[in-house]
Amino acid sequence: MFQDIAPYVFHNEYGSPQPEDDDILIVQKGRDILVSQEGSERTLPAVSQVRAVCPQAAQQAWYLLSIDQKHFFCTDVQVPEADGLVYSSVMGLRDMDPGYMGFGGSVSWQLASWYDLHRFCGRCGTKTVHSGKERAIICPECGHTYYPRISPVVIIAIVDSDRILLTRYSRGGYRRHSLVAGFVEIGETLEDAVRREVMEEVGLQVKNIRYCESQPWPFSSSLIAGFFADVDGDPTVHLNTDGQDELAEGVWVSRDELVLEDSGMSLTWDMIRKFKENHPICTAGR
């Protein structure tokens, strides 16, 4: 999956090294990120490349994380497009080669976006400062401390014997099939969220809910927990057509007819692959 970057090692512990020329400098602008482009090839820009265009950006950079000995920094100075530097959708990092660069860049973008959203204190409006001891932002006026937060998400492979329920949303440009998924609400367990999301999205009841695996997903600041569940009772799908995030399709597909539409980078398609290969998780608890 996306986070599987071995033999490279991801280090997210707090630190304060100084940027070197060949380290990575993350510049985010909303859902876009600055990349270095040469022809059709794109990679993340080195500190030296950004410095040549905007020296101030490199001077005001702070440390985010490392992969092996490659450090990732970010800056809140807006860098103009020039000399092979262009802004591109952060979703393009999913396909960046080498993969460890895409994963490191997306987590860095997640952190950089968090810093950007907390320039001012949400309690008193005072301009915040960075902690010098941990990855945190502090309000010098009221003392409130902000830490990076992630949103829990559940994704559910609903199974009916040798069939799996595939869905497709009506919004956006993503046309591949998916699984029922949604954010966990306040006061819910993960299992409660599974039951609620399945009922809300496709009008089904489920049983034998069992945990499969998880995946960090920087693009929505989420930690996704994947579950398998068996349909309980009538398998007739009733799509939710309310709101902007409604499903356009919900279909039962047999194991023999199932076509893998993705390489398995996402948790969704890793779980679908497990169903296709009749992994033990598919029948556990029956």
| Boundaries of every domain in the chain | 10-117, 119-148, 151-282
Q: What pLDDT is stored for residue 285 in this prediction? A: 64
256 to each of 242, 247, 248, 252, 276, how far by Cα in Å?
33, 24, 24, 12, 8
Q: What pLDDT is stored for residue 31 in this prediction? A: 94
pLDDT tens for 16-42 read: 999 999 999 999 999 999 999 988 889
Q: Which fold has domain 151-282?
A: Nucleoside Triphosphate Pyrophosphohydrolase (3.90.79)
Q: What pLDDT is stored for residue 62 in this prediction? A: 94
Q: How far apart are CA 185 and CA 182, in angstroms?
A: 9
**Whole-structure pTM value:** 0.91
As given in the structure block, the two tokens for residue 55 are 């020296």
Asked if 109 contacts 221 with a C-beta cutoff of 8 angstroms, the reply is no
Q: How far apart are CA 114 and CA 131, in angstroms?
A: 14
**pLDDT band at 265; cut points 50, 70, 90:** confident
Identify the residue whose tokens are 């990092």.
93
Q: Does position 162 have pLDDT exceeding 90, yes or no? A: yes
As given in the structure block, the two tokens for residue 247 are 């499903």
As given in the structure block, the two tokens for residue 5 are 């970057």
Of 82, 102, 99, the residue nearest 91 (C-alpha):
102
Q: How far apart are CA 268 and CA 47, in angstroms?
A: 35
Asked if 115 contacts 135 with a C-beta cutoff of 8 angstroms, the reply is no
Q: How far apart are CA 112 and CA 228, in angstroms?
A: 34
